[in-house]
Amino acid sequence: MPVHRINGIQLHYEEHGTGDPVVMVTGTGAPGRMWRTHQVPALKAAGFKVITVDNRGIPPSDPGTEGFTLDDMAADIAGLIEHLGAAPCRVVGFSLGGIIVQELLLARPELVRAAVLMATSGRADTFATAQAIAEMDLADSGVKLPPRYAAYVNALQSLSPQTLGDEQRLRDWLDIFELSAVDLASVRGQLGLQLIPNRLPAYAAIRCPCLVLSFQHDLIVRPQLTREVADAIPGARHTEIPGCGHYGYLEKPAAVNAALIDFLTAPLADGTPARTHERAGAESRP
Domain ranges of the chain: 3-144+183-279
pLDDT tens string 190-216 = 888 989 999 999 999 999 999 999 999
Nearest to 238 by CA among 255, 253, 223: 223
How far is C-alpha 23 from the geometric centre of its chain's CA atoms? 11
Instruction: List the chain pLDDT tens, one digit each, 286 residues.
Output: 688 889 889 999 999 999 999 999 999 989 999 999 999 999 999 999 999 999 998 889 987 766 789 999 999 999 999 999 999 999 999 999 999 999 999 999 999 999 999 999 999 999 999 999 999 999 999 998 999 999 999 999 999 999 999 999 999 999 999 998 888 888 888 888 989 999 999 999 999 999 999 999 999 999 999 999 999 999 999 999 999 999 999 999 999 999 999 999 988 644 443 333 444 543 332 3
Q: Give the HSE-up count for residue 71: Cα atoms under 13 Å, Cβ half-sphere.
A: 3
pLDDT of 59 reads 87
Q: Identify the CATH homologous superfamily for domain 3-144+183-279.
A: Alpha/Beta hydrolase fold, catalytic domain (3.40.50.1820)
How far is C-alpha 19 from the geometric centre of its chain's CA atoms? 22
- Burial tier of 165 (Cβ tally within 10 Å: 0-12, 13-18, 19+): exposed
pLDDT of 57 reads 86
Give dist(CA 167, CA 146) in Å, integer: 22
Angle between helices 96-107 and 70-84 (to 10 degrees): 70
- Is the distance from CB of 8 to CB of 63 less than 8 angstroms? no
Coil, strand, or helix at residue 112? strand
Catalytic positions, written as ranges: 95, 218, 246
How far is C-alpha 114 from the geometric centre of its chain's CA atoms? 15
Q: Is the dihedral of CA 272, 13, 151, 100 positive or negative?
A: negative
Give dist(CA 166, CA 162) in Å, integer: 6
pLDDT tens string 233-254 = 999 999 999 999 999 999 999 9
Give dist(CA 81, CA 104) in Å, integer: 11
Nearest to 44 by CA among 22, 14, 77: 22
Q: Which long-range contacts (CB under 8 A, 24 or more apart) does 127-133 make?
A: 127/222, 128/194, 128/221, 128/225, 129/195, 131/194, 131/220, 132/191, 132/192, 132/194, 132/195, 133/195
- Is the distance from CB of 217 to CB of 251 less than 8 angstroms? no
Give dist(CA 5, CA 85) in Å, integer: 15
Give dist(CA 95, CA 101) in Å, integer: 10
pLDDT of 270 reads 45
pLDDT of 1 reads 60
Give dist(CA 52, CA 203) in Å, integer: 25
Whether pTM exceeds 0.85: yes
